[in-house]
Structures are given as structure tokens and as C-alpha cells.
Structure 1
Amino acid sequence: MWSVRLLSTVLSLHYAVLGTCNPLLIHPTKRFAYSNAGDQLSDSYDFVIIGGGQAGLTLASRLSEDQNTTVLVIEAGDTGEAVQNQINTPSSTYFNSLTKSEYDWAYITSAQQNLGGRSVSWPRGKVLGGSSAINGMYLVRPSQIEVDAWSAMMGDAEGASAWSWSEFDSAMKKSETFTPPNDDVKTLAKIEYNADSFGSNGPIHASYPGFTFDTIGDWNTALVNAGIPMNSDPASGKNWGGFVANSFINPTNWTRSYARSAYIDPLPPRPNLSILVKSIVTKIHFASSDDLTATAVEFAETRDGERHTVGVKKEVILAGGAVGSPQILMVSGVGPRDVLEAAGVQVVHELPGVGEHLQDHLSTTVIFSTNKDTARSLYASGAVNTPQFLSYVNSAIAYVNSSYLFGSDENAATLKSGAEQAYSDSLIPSNNAEVIAGGKAIYNVMTQKIFDSEVGQIELLINMMFQDSISIGVGLQHPLSQGRLYINSSSAFDYPVIDPNYLSNPIDKTILRQGIKTARLLSTISPLSNALQGETSPGSNVVTDEDIENWLAQQVGTEYHPSSSCAMLPKEQGGVVDAKLKVYGLNNVRVADASVFPFGFAAHLGGPTYGLAEQAANIIRAQYNGGTAPGSSNSGGSGSSNSGNQNNSNSAFKLTWSWLTIAISLFLGATMM
């Protein structure tokens, strides 16, 4: 365990040449100068960002490009230096995972009634970079149909068009630099792509592993033979069909490209940016006036440790993710009145939608034995240990729509009709009229705009990471089941109750069942069938629809994509933020992370979250710099005045930049990995 001392250390980074060190180290060797940081943290900052994860670090990097703007990031986890090799090595996410370690929040849901009373593990990254430091590195764009449906939910609200496909696609592209696969990987895996659909000058790398298997090419051929077409341009807004997804991998050294390595580590000296780690935000303080202006953020190292506060000159930006952001709002007195009062929290502002509309992709796996090489078998043998091989991660997927899953357009229409008829207010876990209205609005988008479209309802993923087996993952992309998240304690150190309400809507179970059948069908299609020797799970005794549904209740779990707990919806629909990401009723608090998506996409949420954070930075900078905000024809110069002229470039600043972190009781000469 690490002995820590709040606000105690500045890490001044002095870079040395990599030389002949491990090729999987993305960062140069660092020498750390420890000193007391009590006088290093300023009394106040223009922007205080709560959460140093994927969205938080993106925002910190972009906002601090304006050299007269001061930014503080407060991150609950550590820097990740001690486990940098695990983070950097892509395959470690499977072979040497940081889940269930101190770098994982290790949330657990409440007992799920429709899963036989099981609770489900919810890993989330508790480290600088957040879940982008521990996830599977899939880079998948949502479809234009979904994004435009999201934007349309905000109606004619000011700024709503910032979330239309054309605007959001530009923001996602801004985050990334695309690199095509090498020729061998492209040929063997039968990869198709359109480079024009990606960004070319962003911090995050969008590329492919440096190693693959012929089984991936067989998978893609089998998809076509099964009637699922290959998609040569899945990033263009039409993301259905089969393709090998991009991965967040830096192809110059075959390492993970994540929020810290992309948006923070390459920065020039930047004295206006501070990052505080190993500190839990305990509360946002508000002025005792009618405008509910956030004036300070309170934080502490431990439950019983001293509380510290830092002042807020302009805004607080919540970037704690689908769990952290609603929790911090609630412990600060913003949320459903009944929840706050039951938890012993004084109500500062009643906002019923906080923590509501929670959604998550639900998934399971069909497993087959094999005598083919897998990544796990090669890794275990030690026969291959190159950086290219260690960059291998699963990335071959297919999104299949209702018509394919149920055999025809007519059957898909029957599903849609059944889903519409299955709706009941009782499916929304709230008695609040606004929240119920929002739940129904989300439900209607699913049934009326998504279900009978080409958008995938099931994601299929081939998994080469098991020993002596190959599996096909089956993930529900648009659950009709909606849950909630709420506090039952006034302490930010106590985890909230997470109730995704899995499979509360029977349509979800029906769609997942068809996904299992589709995975089984694919296993019989040549040439993939040549690699599969027999199904080991669910197994030959799980045959009927009832068998499959009973098995699902015992086996399904998260696909690690929680969203929507601070939904961008109209206030009268239980919304938490408006189209400019401002929390309703609060003067200067925004939320900018996956919690604001009003529904889950047929996509992994990494790419969309970077896009959301980039767009949030565009909106905020336009307001304070006097520019035109995305989705608005008006100048965004209203709001607090900025001190001095702004510099939007990423040019170097010739002053010392330092990170604030927590002291570690290690010898000063200890080497950090």
C-alpha cells in the first residue's frame, strides 16, 4: 500500500532518452523531484474539472491551450506510473488486466431481479486516463441515424444542432489520427476502410494491431456467406455490417493510445494546467444566492481526512463518468429530493433526472473449442513476444439489425409493434412525471427510429483471447430496460447504488436470444466453421427459446458501456443538462462525459466520448473567447469575462509545467514503471 499525504507533491517531469529500454514503454524515463505542494496549488482556478479520465483530460488539454486560462483536474486515482507497462501494452487488457486492482473502482450493481438475483461487476478506471487506460481499446463510431436522433430529442433548444451528425462527426475526427493497417495484417484479416472518414491530426491514434490471425479473415468471409455484408466505410455514419474496428493503438511503438498518453503527456510546458491525483471530490459548494453559482470544490484524500477547497472563477465541469458525475451532483445537494433527503443531504437544487435513465450494453459469450492458435495459446507458449504480437486485441465485429436477427422485415416490424405495445410507465423506475416522460421519449426513439432501421441491435465480436477456444460475443446495443443510480449516504466515499434494471423489459431478452442464435449460425458457416470444433457454452443442452432465455439470465453481464445518468434531454423530460451541457438550474456547472448521452449507441463509447469532450471544449471556449459556439449562429461572448487575450494554439509555453500528485512513501530514487 502507498502512504499518501494530501496535496503533498509536485512531480516535475524531466525527460530522458528512451535508449534501449523496453520497447513497450511509451513515456521516457522520468526523474521525479519531490517537494511540498502546499504552496503549489492555487487558491482558485478558472475551470475545475472533476475527473481525470477520458473526457476530463481531453477538456483539460483543450481548455489550457488558452494560456491565460487556468485549469485544475481533480482525479480520484493515481497517475498510473507504477503500472505503466500494463497500461501501455494493449494485450495486457486481457492477459494482465488492471481490473479488480487499486486502479479499478470495482463497482458492483445491486441484485438484479431478472438475472436471478445476481449482482454484476462494473469495472471503471480509477487512474489518470480513467477507463481509457484499462479498456479494450475499440474505436467504433455511432451511426448518423443515432446521433441525429439524439440531437432531435433536444428540439429547437439553443445549441442542439451541435450534436447533429455533421457537427459531432467533426468533433470525433478532431480527436484522432488514423493510420492504416500494415499490408500483412490487412491481407490476412481482410480489412477494409476509408481513410477519408477519419481524422488525420488529432491526439488519439486510430489504427490497428500489428498482428492478426487468419481466423479473423475467415470470420469476415463467414459473415458475408451468412448474409452479413462487409462494411468498407463504417466510420462514415453507416456503421452496420461486418468490419475490423479501429483500435486505440499507437502504431509507432504498438502501445495503448489513451487520454493521458495522447492529451497530456505530449504537452509542452504549460503552467496554467494542474492535475491533482488521489483526491476524492466530496462536494461542490454553491453561493447562497438564487443563481446557484458554484464557488468552490471540496476534496479529501480519505474519508476521515482533512477537507480542502479550491475556488472556482468560471466553471465546474463534471467528467466523472456515468457513475461519478451523478454521484457528485447528489452529494452536493443536486438531484431527486426524495433521494437526497433519505441520504441526509441538504437539497440545494431539486433536479429529478440526476441518476435516472441509466442504460448499459448487456452481453454474453458463445464459446467453441478449437485446435487453432489463439492469442492466449501463443502468449502462454512464449513463442511470440514481439511488440507487434503484444499489440493484438480483439477488434473484428459485426452489427446486425432487427431484420437480420428475426429473419425478415416483416418479423422486425412485428418486433417493433410488440415493443411499442410492451411499454408501460411501470418500466421506468421512478414516480416522477418528468423522469417518466423522458423514459418514454427514449423508448420511442428506440422503437420508432432505431428498431426498424439498418442500425445494429446486436453486436457480434470474435474473441481470440481464450486458451484452446474461440468465442463469439453477443452484445445488446439498444436496451429498452432503463435503470437508475442513487446515493444512500451523504459521503462521496460510499459507492452509490447502481441498478441498471437489466432485462426488466422482455424485449431485451428476446433480442439477446436471437443474438445467441445468430452466433450459433455463424459457427456453422465456412470457413469459420473449420476453426471451431464444438460449442462448450451454452452447450448442446441449451436448445429451446426458453432454455436460451433461462441461460441468459444466469450468464449476461456488462459490456462496459454505461451511459445516460445525466441525460441531455429537455428539463420537462427529466433531463440533467441542456444542449450546452449546462446543468439545469445551476449557473456554472456542466457535465461532459458519457453520462449525458440520452441513450446508448450501437458502438463502443470511447470514440463518442472523445468527440463529446472535444465538442464541449469548443462550446466552452466559444463562450469565453467570444467566438461562435458549435450549433449556434450567435457569438458566445456572454458569461464571465476572460482575463487577457486567448491563444488557441497548442504552441509551447516557456515556463515550467508540473503535475500535482500525492506523495508516495517510496525512496526518492525508486524507478516508476
Structure 2
Amino acid sequence: MSRANPALPVDSFDYIVVGAGSAGCLLANRLSRDPTSRVLLLEAGRKDNHPWIHIPVGYLYCIGNPRTDWLFNTEPEAGLNGRSLRYPRGKALGGCSSINGMIYMRGQVRDFDDWAASTGDAAWSWDNVLPDFMAHEDHYRLDDGADPAMGGNSRFFDLHGHGGEWRIEKQRLRWDILEAFADAAVEAGVPRSEDFSSSDEAGVGYFEVNQKAGWRWNASKAFLRPARRRANLVVWTESEVERLLIEASASGRRHCAGVVLHRGGRSVTVAARREVILSAGAIGSPQILQLSGVGPAALLAKHGIDVAFDLPGVGENLQDHLQIRAVFKVEGAKTLNVLAGSLFGKAKIGLEYALLRSGPMSMSPSQLGAFTRSDASRPHPNLEYHVQPLSLDAFGEPLHTIPAFTASVCNLNPTSRGSVRIRSNRRGEAPAIAPNYLSTDEDRKVAADSIRQIRAIVSQPALARYKPVEWKPGVEFQTDAELAKLAGDIASTIFHPVGTTRMGRDDDKLAVVDGRLRVRGIDGLRVVDAGVMPTITSGNTSAPTMMIAEKAARLILQDARVNA
């Protein structure tokens, strides 16, 4: 824990940040730069000293582990033919950045221009969020000042940052089967891409990852470690917020005066002199708001919670990326299924990582990526591939014993919308998470088309020497109806929940926060996490969440100066 300033009361802070995940760690760093402000960062989980957090392949041992995961599950989903999915959320310093896939991905230019249009705030346009992405980047391509592969790098300098806290590196591995898939994608008409974060993402190439010299680089290492030397930053772990303190101000408006949290077996009240900032994620933040009386009045009344402010959008608008995993048996190809199938192979993998910090133990869950259109009429890529030299039934399950690779594909812009709603007024009870997957005709059509596209790529000559055979889902499924039902049987989340506290215009009755991320109707309270996204970004959501936090920190400090 950081050393507290003895001149200040221990139960009062200028800023209280709830949640030490990707957004919360960055916010704590930025807000504590001002030595006159005292900042409290709260994390319900423990420190990030669990060894599997830091070894890249350790996500296999962190997801589904109560030491590092909230262990949520979705409600049974009609679009998934009644199935319920595991819904991992990080529970440790670093939050989801301690258990996620480590893929660095911003999204497409259109995503952010659409945010600006939907909120009426140009601050969220691509041109105005790009500096917030770059502000904390430390991109490996700029280590030597130039990268010949990027054509002299002048454009790359305009799009990426160097010297920031958030390390972005090249993956430390190579697989022939992935090279062959990339070649097959090119044969199918997909261009090659050197940088998925520079335009509309179209193309095939290797994902860049948030690692440093073969270790996971999480938000705790990046932003908390340097900041915790500051006397004005206090970090409390194993401290779960029970509710916000919502009071009536002299003006008649509601005001968030602090939080009540569970720490050390008892309830503790902590006051906020300036602001409380919820960064508990797209699941945690709406849950805390609802438990505090901020949310849909009917839901709150149902659970005996006094309504502090009727805000119908809290917990609504849930969006997520659903992936369809196609598995192909191969011949004559090295895959992880075979390599890790013997004690000798496992020893070799361990030795390679111990000596070189490379090989399978340095792998992110997905290595090769591609962005394509599900049909030619689409103006932008709307599918993302995650291709892996392995196969299994689900993450956390054993590898299959046959040589195989997996090509997973997700709809980047789903039209289905779900919800996060409390089940009771008890802090410890998980909310009902209902993503409502595949609930629209468009989403079911994209799912069917995406399976056909996988098959078209795998049928190209570049993969022929490995004699790929579709094992799952199976070539017997061909019609739109069959493929849509099949998607419901085999699809799974890639853990990108957003939108449950979305920002919007003043006349948008379902918007929870405004363009400056202030909660409507409650002074002194903001939400800064993936929940504020009006629509999901076209790719992995970790980097956009950090961009939101970078921008929010500036907005918070600007407002503090105005109100001083």
C-alpha cells in the first residue's frame, strides 16, 4: 500500500477510483500526478502477484480461477440454443489486462467517428482520440526510430507513440500452419496487413501484443508501479464497494459524496472531496450503480432499493463479440496439440520459455488475425479472425489429441443488444448477464456467411499440402438456417462486453453518461470504462478502454481547475 500523507484524514480523498483494471490503473496514475490531490484506488481482487498472471499462456490458468476471475456466467441464451457461457472478468490488480488475450487493437476509424456523431461531441472522433491512444504507447517498431518494413516509418510515427507506459511488441513465435493460412487468405482475396491499428484494419497478419520481453505487460505494471512511489496515491486491494453514497445537495441535485466498501471483514465509509470514478467494467459499474439506487426505477423497486435517480439505461445496451470456432484436422503440420501431447514436448516448451522467453508459453490465445467483409456489399470489414495452431473444446479445456488448427471468426458489429441487471440488493450476488446473442436476423445471417468464408479460405491451394478436413462444425451443415443454428451450438464469447453505461446526447433517455463521462443527474460521479462505449469497437476492446481513460483523466483535471 502507498504511504498516506499524515496531514490528510484517512477517510477522505479528492478522487476515489473504483476498480484497478485497464482504465482504473491508468486513471490512478494520471490523477496522482498532481501532488496536491489525494487519490484512492480500490480493487475487489488481490495483488497481481499470482505467477500465472505474468506468463502469457497463464490465461489458461487464470480464467475460471477464483484467485483472478469473478467467475460470472451468462443467463441461458435463446440464440445459443439454451446454453450459458462462462463470462470471465479480471479480479486482481490490472483487472482484465491480467487475464486477457494481450492483443493490441484499436478498432476502425469509423467506430470513433460514429461515437462523435451519436454523442454530439467531436472529442470522440478518430482525429481527437488518436492522441489519447498515442499518449501512453511504447511501440516496438519505434524503438530504433525507424522501421524499414513500414516504408521509412513517417506515417507510422504519425499513428503510434513511443516512450509511454503501455508496451506493444511483436509475438515471439512462428508456425508454418499459420503462415499457410495467411497465404490462403491472400489467395482468397484478403490483402496482407502490417498494422491493424492504422486504417480500416482490412487484411491478414500477426497480432501485436501487450508483452515485454516475453512477459505479460498488464495495467498494474505499466501504470501503478511507477505511480505507487507517490505519497498521494493509496491502493487498497480486497476492498469491494457495497454502494455509492448518494446525497441531496443544497441545489436540490443529487451528489456522490463517497463510497461504502467491504474491507477487512467490515464496512468502511470513505468520502470523496471531488469525484468518485467508477472503473469497474461493463459488468461491475452498472451493478454498483443499481445497488446504489441509480438505474431503472422498476428494477430497483423490485429489489427493495430506494431510487436515488431513475436512469433507465443503466445496465442496458450490452454488446459483445461472439466467435464461431471452426476446427480443421491436418496432416504433416506441427500443431500445439501434438507438441504438447507428450512429456518430452512439454519439457521442451518449458525449456524454450525459460531460456528464451519464446515459444508456446509466450503465446497469446490467438496469434494470426484477419479482417474481412462477410459479403461484398459491406462498406467496411465486419469480421475478425483469430487463428491458432491448436484446437480444444473451450479455453480451460484440454487440447485435442489430433493435429488440428482453429479458425475462429466473430461479427465485429453485432446488432443484438443485451443487459446486466442485479438479482437482489446483496453485494455478493452476481448480476444477471444476458448478452442476447444472435437475436437479430442480421447477426444470424452474418454468422452463416462467416462460416462459409472460413471454408472458402481453407480450400485455397496454400493449405492443400496439409490436407485440412473440417472437423467442427462439419460440412453437412450448409443452409442459412442450419449454419445459424450451428453457430448457436458452438459459438462462444471472446470477452468484450461494452455499452452498459453508454454515453449519449442530453435528449437520449437511455444514455447514462454525457460526453465528459459524467453520470446524468448525479454530481461528482463519472464512469470511465468499456461500459461508456455507445457501440462496440471493431476489434479487441482493451486498447480503446485505455484510450477512454486517458481522455477522461484530462477531462477530470480540466473540470477540477474550472471548479477550483
Return the TM-score normalized by structure 2: 0.90
Q: 2:133 touches 2:543 (CA, 8 Å); kept in 1?
A: yes
Instruction: Indicate which of 508, 520, 523 corresponds to 2:458.
Output: 523
CA deviation vs aligned residue, 1:105-137 (integer Å, no higher than 9, x gap): 111111112222211211110111001000111
Partner of 1:584: 520
Aligned to 2:394: none
Show the counterpart of 1:205: 167
For residue 461 of structure 2, give the secondary structure of its aligned residue in structure 1. coil
- Closer, same or farther: CA 229–461 of 1 in aligned 2, 3 Å: same
Deviation at 1:395, TM superposition (A): 2.9
CA distance in 2: counterparts of 1:538 and 1:182, whole angstroms: 43
Q: What's the counterpart of residue 146 of structure 1? A: 111
The residue type paired with residue 515 of structure 1 is: S
CA distance in 1, matches of 2:223, 2:348: 35
Q: 1:123 aligns with which of 67, 78, 88?
A: 88
Question: For the structure 1 residues 208 and 376, does the alpha-carbon distance in structure 2 shift closer, same or farther, using more than 3 Å as the test?
Answer: farther
Instruction: Give 1:215 shift.
Output: 2.7
Question: Equivalent of 2:128, from 153, 167, 170?
Answer: 167
Shift of 1:92: 2.1
Query: Would the aligned equivalents of 1:339 and 1:488 in 2 still touch at CA under 8 Å?
Result: no
Amino acid in structure 2 at the alignment position of 1:391:
S
Give the ranges of 4+ consecutive aligned residues of structure 1 lying more than 3 Å apart after TM superposition: 36-41, 180-183, 190-195, 375-380
1:602 is the counterpart of 2:527 = no
Give the deviation of 1:40 after TM superposition. 10
Pair 1:221 & 2:186 matched: no
Residue 500 of structure 1 and its aligned partner are, at CA, apart by: 1.1
CA distance in 1, matches of 2:227, 2:261: 26
Q: 1:71 to 1:461 in 2, by over 3 A?
A: same
Q: How does 1:170-209 map to 2 (within 5 A)?
A: 170-180=131-141, 195-196=156-157, 197-209=159-171
The structure-2 alpha-carbon separation of the partners of 1:492 and 1:571, relative to structure 1 and needing over 3 Å to count, comes to farther
Which secondary structure does the structure 1 equivalent of 2:17 belong to?
strand
The offset of 1:11, in angstroms, is 7.5
Q: What does 1:155-304 align with in structure 2 at a 5 Å threshold?
A: 155=120, 160-180=121-141, 195-196=156-157, 197-250=159-212, 253-267=213-227, 269-289=229-249, 290-301=252-263
Secondary structure of the 1:345 match is coil
1:462 to 379, 384, 387: 387
**AA aligned opposite 2:138:** T
Structure 2 counterparts to residues 398-437 of structure 1, below 5 A: 398-401=370-373, 405-406=374-375, 408=376, 412=377
SS in 2 for 1:127: coil
CA deviation map 1:253-299 (0-9, x unaligned): 31111100111123462110011111110011122332211112000
> Aligned with 2:507: secondary structure?
helix
**Paired residues, number:** 534
1:498 equivalent in structure 2:
433
Matching residue of 1:54: 22
Moved more, 290-299 or 58-67: 290-299
User: Of 384, 387, 395, which residue of structure 1 is paired with 2:367?
Assistant: 395
Change (3 A) 1:268 1:549: closer
Question: Per-residue displacement from partner, 1:292-321 (whole Å, max 9, x unpaired)?
Answer: 11112000148xx42110011000000010
How far apart in 2 are the matches of 1:601 and 1:375? 31
SS at match of 1:373: coil
CA separation of 1:461 and 1:261: change in aligned 2, threshold 3 A: same
CA contact (8 A) 2:503 2:514 kept: yes
The one-letter amino acid of 1:487's match is I
Letter in 1 for 2:386: L
Does structure 2 retain, via aligned residues, the 8 Å contact 1:77–1:103? yes
Q: Secondary structure at the match of 1:308?
A: strand
| % identity of equivalent residues | 29
Residue 453 in 1 paired to residue 379 in 2? yes
Among candidates 48, 57, 63, match of residue 80 of structure 1: 48
Whether 1:43 aligns to 2:14 is no
1:572 corresponds to 2:507: yes
Distance 1:340 1:346, change over 3 A: same
Q: 2:161 and 2:5 mapped to 1: Cα distance? A: 39
- 2:334 equivalent among 361, 373, 380: 373
Q: What SS does structure 2 have at the residue aligned with 1:235?
A: coil
User: Which residue identity does 1:495 align to in structure 2?
Assistant: A
Is the contact between residue 538 and residue 551 of structure 1 (CA under 8 Å) also seen in structure 2?
yes
The answer to whether the 8 A contact 1:141-1:239 is kept is: no
Aligned equivalent of 1:113, options 69, 74, 78 = 78
The counterpart of 2:99, out of the listed 121, 134, 139, is: 134
> Is the counterpart of residue 555 in structure 1 residue 490 in structure 2?
yes
Counterpart-to-counterpart distance in 1, 2:106 and 2:72: 26
Alpha-carbon deviations, 1:600-652, whole Å to 9, x = none?
1111001111111111111112222x4xxxxxxxxxx2x2x2xxxxxxxxxxx
Q: 1:154 to 1:259 in 2, by over 3 A?
A: same
- CA–CA distance in 2 between the matches of 1:593 and 1:90? 24
In structure 2, C-alpha distance between the alignment counterparts of 1:93 and 1:379, rounded to whole Å: 17
TM-score, structure 1 as length reference? 0.76
2: distance between equivalents of 1:279 and 1:523? 49
User: Alpha-carbon deviations, 1:190-222, whole Å to 9, x = none?
Assistant: 999964222112111111122222333222222
Offset, 1:538: 0.6
Cα deviation, residue 547, structure 1: 2.2
One-letter amino acid matched to 1:555? I
Are the counterparts in 1 of residues 176 and 333 from structure 2 also a CA contact under 8 Å? no
Offset, 1:392: 2.4
* One-letter identity of the residue aligned with 2:425: S
Shift of 1:491: 1.7
Query: Deviations along 1:489-525, whole A, 9 cap, x unmatched?
Result: 1122111111111111121011011111111111111
* Contact 1:76–1:278 (CA under 8 A) maintained in structure 2: yes
For 1:392 and 1:241, locate their aligned partners in 2 and report how far apart those are by CA, in whole Å. Answer: 21
- SS of residue paired to 2:141: coil
Give distance in 2, aligned partners of 1:287 and 1:261. Answer: 36
Runs of 5+ consecutive residues of structure 1 not aligned to the other structure: 1-9, 13-35, 413-451, 627-636, 642-673
Aligned partners of 1:178 and 1:195 also within 8 Å: no
